[in-house]
């Protein structure tokens, strides 16, 4: 079973600064990595899939990178709407299923 | 547009069965997508529970498999979750979601809080 880990658990960032979030897989998963944004009272929102492809309607300030076991989500020039919890997720596995990381909370510094 | 909405009792007693239905509009559950249940216990992260295809093929998280049943009703354009023998550890916000064959979830319901308590 592949385990997903994320660091840091909490990231304090000032508005208009850059946030860099990390996700690690316990085994090589290629680029089968997605990122979701989750705000209180709302469902998660798909941001990135295939490690670096932005989902429909996602602003360019969100970017993903990495392959194998190490992945990064970068949020440039943070806006107030970006303060949330971010989850990475292993996808493209068969049979259908999902493994989420524990999440990184991005809050206001 | 695609919309999902969870419905079911907000309170379930320990040892009983949790039952939720996801109503889907704007898209047919019979199309080539998968339909999933995902939950988030209070203060914790997201946990995938199970997925169904319109053919009825189901896939469950191994640790929950003995207690979970996901079904689909194509005539009503909805799918359902049953989780038996619940305990307080099953208290969570339950989400239904649309997934592609690679388990990317692009549409989600708003979520519904289910509390297990006597």
pLDDT tens readout for residues A79-109: 999 999 999 999 866 788 899 999 999 998 8
Nearest CA in chain B to A102: B45
**φ/ψ (deg, to 5) at A80:** -60, -30
User: Could you read off the pLDDT of B29-78 as tens digits, one per residue?
Assistant: 999 899 999 999 999 999 999 999 988 899 999 999 999 999 999 999 99
Q: Which of B26, B23, B29 is nearest to B8 (CA)?
A: B23
Residues A42, B110 contacting (CB under 8 angstroms) = yes
What is the spatial distance between Cα B118 and Cα B115, in angstroms, rounded to a whole number?
A: 10
What's the pLDDT band for B97 if we cut at 50, 70, 90? Answer: very high
Picking from B47, B97, B104, the nearest residue to A34 by CB comes out as B104
Mean pLDDT for chain A overall = 95
Q: How confident is the model at residue B7 (pLDDT cuts 50, 70, 90)?
A: very high
Report the C-alpha gap between B69 and B73 in whole angstroms.
Answer: 13
Structure-token match 């990595």, residue found: A33
Measured between alpha carbons, how far is A11 from A106 in angstroms, rounded to an integer? 5
Q: What is the predicted pLDDT for the residue at B87?
A: 98
Closest C-alpha to B99, from B40, B69, B45, B57: B57
Residues counted in chain B = 118
**Closest-CA residue of chain B to A45:** B106
Say whether A96 and B51 touch across the interface (CB within 8 A): yes
> What pairing do the DSSP bridges indicate for beta strands B11-12 and B112-116?
parallel
């Amino acid at each position: 079973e592949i385990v997903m880990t994320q660091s840091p658990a909490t990231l304090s960032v000032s508005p208009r600064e850059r946030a860099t979030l990390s996700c690690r897989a316990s085994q090589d998963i290629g680029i089968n990595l997605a990122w979701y944004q989750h705000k209180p009272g709302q469902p998660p929102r798909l941001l990135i899939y295939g490690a670096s492809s932005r989902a429909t309607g996602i602003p360019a300030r969100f970017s993903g990178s990495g392959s194998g076991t190490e992945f990064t989500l970068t949020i440039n020039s943070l806006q107030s709407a970006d303060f949330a919890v971010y989850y990475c997720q292993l996808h493209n596995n068969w049979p259908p299923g999902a493994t989420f990381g524990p999440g990184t909370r991005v809050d206001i510094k | 547009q695609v919309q999902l909405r969870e419905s079911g009792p907000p309170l379930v007693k320990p040892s009983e069965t949790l039952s939720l239905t996801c109503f889907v509009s704007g898209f047919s559950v019979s199309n080539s997508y998968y339909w999933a249940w995902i939950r988030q216990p209070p203060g914790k992260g997201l946990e995938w529970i199970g997925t169904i295809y319109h053919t009825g093929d189901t896939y469950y998280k191994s640790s929950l498999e003995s207690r979970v049943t996901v079904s689909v009703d194509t005539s009503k354009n909805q799918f359902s979750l049953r989780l038996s023998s619940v305990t307080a550890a099953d208290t969570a916000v339950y989400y239904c979601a649309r997934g592609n064959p690679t388990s990317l979830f692009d549409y989600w319901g708003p979520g519904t809080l289910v509390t297990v308590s006597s």
